[in-house]
């Protein structure tokens, strides 16, 4: 956990006090994406737009929920995490059934949460069938298979949240 916090702070040196106060209240106009960390050239293929992202903050209590990409886990897995914005307002921890994360404000009403999941059941056969039916390009398909294998071995990611 300490390493995750150190990594998070070094990646995003920003302070919540600089964010608009409206961002720290219950809002409906959020969008987000999930990124499996890869090299910069491959990030577009390792990023998924999240449908149904919910982010609420009431009295500094945070709740976020979304579904992990089917391409990584094989079936819809709802991730729900909660936490409390820290007094120093530079980062905060979120936890849930499937793991932990450290969330940091960025700029322009954006947050990034560095996530570490517990080992979860990955349905590799379903993933293979899904990719086989949805993706025609052989190179892209191989890359997506590789991502699923990487996620299975090291279930981490970055949740990026933006307020419209």
52-56, 81-85, 87-91, 107-111: least confidently modelled range: 87-91
Domain extents in the chain: 2-163
Q: Which residues 6+ apart lie within 8 Å of 83 measured at CB?
A: 61, 62, 92, 93, 94, 95, 103
Query: Averaged over 144-149, what is the pLDDT?
Result: 94
Return the pLDDT at 133: 94
> What's the pTM?
0.81
Look at residue 7 in the predicted model and tell me its pLDDT.
Answer: 42
Q: Which CATH architecture has domain 2-163?
A: Beta Barrel (2.40)
Higher pLDDT, 18 or 106: 106
Mean pLDDT in the chain?
82
What is the tens place of the pLDDT at every residue in 56-79?
888 889 999 999 999 999 998 999
Alpha carbons 53 and 51: distance in angstroms, whole number: 6
| Burial status of residue 28 (CB atoms within 10 A of its CB: 0-12, 13-18, 19 or more) | exposed
pLDDT at residue number 164: 73
Please say whether the dihedral angle defined by the alpha carbons of residues 18, 20, 24 and 28, taken in this order, is positive or negative: negative
**Predicted confidence band at 109 (pLDDT cuts at 50, 70, 90)?**
confident
> Phi/psi at 38 (nearest 5 deg)?
-140, 180
Which is more confidently placed, 12 or 108?
A: 108
**How is residue 133 written in tokens?**
């039916």
pLDDT for res 89: 66
Weakest-pLDDT range from 29-38, 85-94, 147-156: 85-94
Instruction: Using the structure block, give the residue that is written with the tokens 């729900």.
Output: 80
Q: Can you say whether the dihedral through the CA atoms of 16, 22, 28, 31 is positive or negative? A: negative
Distance CA 143, CA 47 (A): 12
Contact 155, 100 (CB under 8 A): no
């Amino acid at each position: 956990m300490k390493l995750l916090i150190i990594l998070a702070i070094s990646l995003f040196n920003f302070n919540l006090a600089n964010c608009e106060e409206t961002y720290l209240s219950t809002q409906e106009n959020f969008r987000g994406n999930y990124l499996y960390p890869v090299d910069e050239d491959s990030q577009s293929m390792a990023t998924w737009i999240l449908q149904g992202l919910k982010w609420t903050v009431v009295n500094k209590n945070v709740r976020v929920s979304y579904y992990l990409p089917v391409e990584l886990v094989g079936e819809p897995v709802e991730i729900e995490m909660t936490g409390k914005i820290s007094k120093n307002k530079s980062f905060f921890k979120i936890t849930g059934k499937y793991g932990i994360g450290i969330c940091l404000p960025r700029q322009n009403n954006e947050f990034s949460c560095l996530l570490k999941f517990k080992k979860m059941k990955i349905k590799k056969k379903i993933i293979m069938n899904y990719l086989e039916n949805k993706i025609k390009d052989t190179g892209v398909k191989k890359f997506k298979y590789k991502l699923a294998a990487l996620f299975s071995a090291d279930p981490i990611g970055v949740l990026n949240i933006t307020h419209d």
